[in-house]
Amino acid sequence: MGGRFRRRTAANISFVLISGMALFLFGCGGGSGGGTKEPVPVIQNLNNSTQPSGSVSLPIEIDGTGFQSAPGQVIFTQGSITATVTPNSGGWSDTGIVVDVPSGSSSTQFTVPGTVAVGVKTSGGTSNSVNLTLVQQVNFNVNNVTWTTTTALPKPESGLGAVAVPSNSTTSAFVVLAGGYDGINDLNTVLTNTIAQNGTLGSWSTAANALPSPRAFAGMAEANPGNSLVPVGSQFIYVIGGQQNASDKPGGTSTVFMAPVDPASGSVGAWTQLANSLPVALVGPGVTIADGYVYVVGGLQTTGIPSSTVYSAPVNSDGTLGAWTKAANPYPVTVAFPSVFAFAGNLYAINGDDQNETSPDVADTGGVTDANFAPIPFGVVGPWTSSAQTIKNRSKQSTWLAFGQIIDAEGTYSGGAGGTGSLELERTTVSSNGTLATWNGITAVNAPGANVYNAAAIVSPVLSTTNAPRFLLFGGEQFVTVDVGYPTNPLSATVYVNNAP
């Protein structure tokens, strides 16, 4: 389970030794009373992150020691307001607690956004307090989304990776694009840009530090103090697996590249190939990061057969990754190019291609409508649960998540395969029990009109002045004919962003 659980074990052993010594001294004469005193609980962190945040009614993780086996209480305090919660036994262990954030006391609500102090109380005493930033869950109407274009890519490409990177500013952020396929070669180019508050981009810059070798159809993730135990002011990006040579069919690597990103300038530092590579080579894996762990779902193996394996690795304080763990609960479907994300303590995977494939840029229609989720308490992937299936069996699609609302977009699929007039976008919401509500189609009026697959997609870390999220779509391969790739299906350099709501 990584470093956290090893540290917990060491702490528990230390206590047992100290307790044993105390009993020995007592037995040699002196002292009174009976029994061993329970330890005072200690909180190490919240959400396995340096600057944790959470939302009212959604779960957080409390990592520490001495919580005992039976539930005690979790105390949330903001000024004079105190709310005490007794979690259920299924969310409580001696080293970890999962608890929903309350809205406040019975008479007074917490101020959101704001900060609450979180503590744990057991028969052994009351723990230290750790601050949790309360984040407002923004309500916006997906049916009102409209799109425009912003600064185009320097050249058309598909199979590129993209991550949004928070900046030191509250009104702007950064985007980093890595690798890709230009129709002839896989690329090692790294591009950076600034995202304005309205979602538009500035001028593209080519980073001085290119990838150590070309990568296309790789997974990409970003670690920062809000989602990992990295120091304040540090941010790291990762390129995981992917194809190295366009002539490989499908090819695949197991490498993991990491680079720091300056939160002031958005510049990308030198890339490092991490010692802990993926256990297997994968093309088109689904990748995300949550509560201090990177998750990888599916992907094409070197044989061209999609995988159902799920891997996780902890993010270390220096940004490197710990050893990869193969989850005991594989994904229910063998799949490549799934959309993977985490929300409210669960890992989600949507759509993807379950067919054998040797050419990642081909516009096939072999996607699935599957949507499944699994709990991930403290980095452990639990059993998968099937949820509402998507309307279209999308593959090589783009997906955005914002405040529990999901837009599934573009890609290739049966009955349209990304063609003009087909259902480009559909949407759903995450229910309180983790399931997805029934998917609804979004009309063509609310679609960007991109008609692409193998594009890159991000959600800006900065809300617009109307308090709405901004979704961006980069490049991709334009659908013209099914079962073929470039040059029949030309590549795109267009970047789309929603300008409403």
DSSP codes of every residue in 260-289: EB-TTT--B---EE-SS--SS-BBS-EEEE
pLDDT digits (tens, 9 = 90+) for 45-57: 999 999 999 999 9
Q: Which CATH number fits the domain that encloses residue 120? A: 2.60.40.10
pLDDT digits (tens, 9 = 90+) for 177-236: 999 999 999 999 999 999 999 999 999 999 999 999 999 999 999 999 999 999 999 999
Q: With respect to residue 32, please indicate whether it lies within any of the assigned structural domains.
A: no
Co-location of 106 and 222 in the same domain: no
Co-location of 344 and 461 in the same domain: yes
DSSP 8-class letter at 404: T
Q: With respect to residue 106, please indicate whether it lies within any of the assigned structural domains.
A: yes
Token pair belonging to 77: 């305090």
Report the domain count for the chain.
2
Co-location of 241 and 340 in the same domain: yes
* Segments forming the whole domain that contains residue 272: 138-501
Domain boundary among 134, 157, 172: 134
Co-location of 86 and 218 in the same domain: no
Q: With respect to residue 248, please indicate whether it lies within any of the assigned structural domains.
A: yes
CA distance 1 to 355: 32
Co-location of 315 and 460 in the same domain: yes
Model-level pTM? Answer: 0.92
Co-location of 405 and 495 in the same domain: yes
CA distance 153 to 491: 11
CA distance 371 to 254: 26
pLDDT digits (tens, 9 = 90+) for 102-160: 999 999 999 999 999 999 999 999 999 999 999 999 988 888 999 999 999 999 999 99
pLDDT digits (tens, 9 = 90+) for 474-483: 999 998 888 8
Q: With respect to residue 145, please indicate whether it lies within any of the assigned structural domains.
A: yes
Domain boundary among 117, 134, 151: 134
Sequence letter at residue 336: A
The full DSSP string for 209-251 is S--SS--BS-EEEEE-TTTSSPPTT--EEEEES-BS-TTSSS-
Q: With respect to residue 247, please indicate whether it lies within any of the assigned structural domains.
A: yes
Co-location of 166 and 311 in the same domain: yes
Q: With respect to residue 12, please indicate whether it lies within any of the assigned structural domains.
A: no
**Helix (H) or strand (E) run with residue 18 in it:** helix 3-27
Co-location of 225 and 79 in the same domain: no
Co-location of 111 and 199 in the same domain: no
Q: With respect to residue 156, please indicate whether it lies within any of the assigned structural domains.
A: yes
Q: What is the pLDDT of residue 36?
A: 75
Q: What is the pLDDT of residue 53?
A: 98
Q: With respect to residue 462, please indicate whether it lies within any of the assigned structural domains.
A: yes
Domain boundary among 134, 157, 174: 134
Q: Which CATH number fits the domain that encloses residue 256? A: 2.120.10.80
Co-location of 83 and 203 in the same domain: no
Co-location of 104 and 154 in the same domain: no
Q: Which residues pair with 161 in a beta bridge?
A: 178
Co-location of 413 and 390 in the same domain: yes
pLDDT band at 83, cuts 50/70/90? Answer: very high
Q: What is the pLDDT of residue 422?
A: 65
